[in-house]
Amino acid sequence: MTDLDKQHAIKRGNPGWVKGQSGNPNGRPKGTLSLVSLLKQQLLDNPGEAKEIVKAFVEQGKVGDMRAIEELLNRIDGKVIERHKLEAEIPITLLFQPASKLQSIEGKHNEIDAAKREEE
């Protein structure tokens, strides 16, 4: 095994992380701005730039750039929801109960627990 192979093996193994413990317990330093925050601020401070970006997007769509067209449509109408028709009969067991039924079941459990406590 070469030195490079050994380095890759070490990287692939457990690098010393403790399960359930954050790798960055202090988080991002306060006052640090994200890229999204910086972009939003730039466009709010310069509305003309935002208009130019929109114009460029529309122009790309006009010349047939499908990614630009898709993004424009997603921003205007929202993403298209894919629907698939299932044409087979599949037995399904529902693992949920309506909230009203759960509340009545919970009430019965509370009554049973209270009766058990009275017996003790």
- Gap between the Cα atoms of 63 and 114, Å rounded: 73
pLDDT band at 45 (very low <50, low <70, confident <90, very high): very high
Give tens-digit pLDDT for 56-115: 989 999 999 999 988 888 888 888 788 877 777 777 776 666 666 666 655 666 666 766
Domain borders along the chain are 47-80
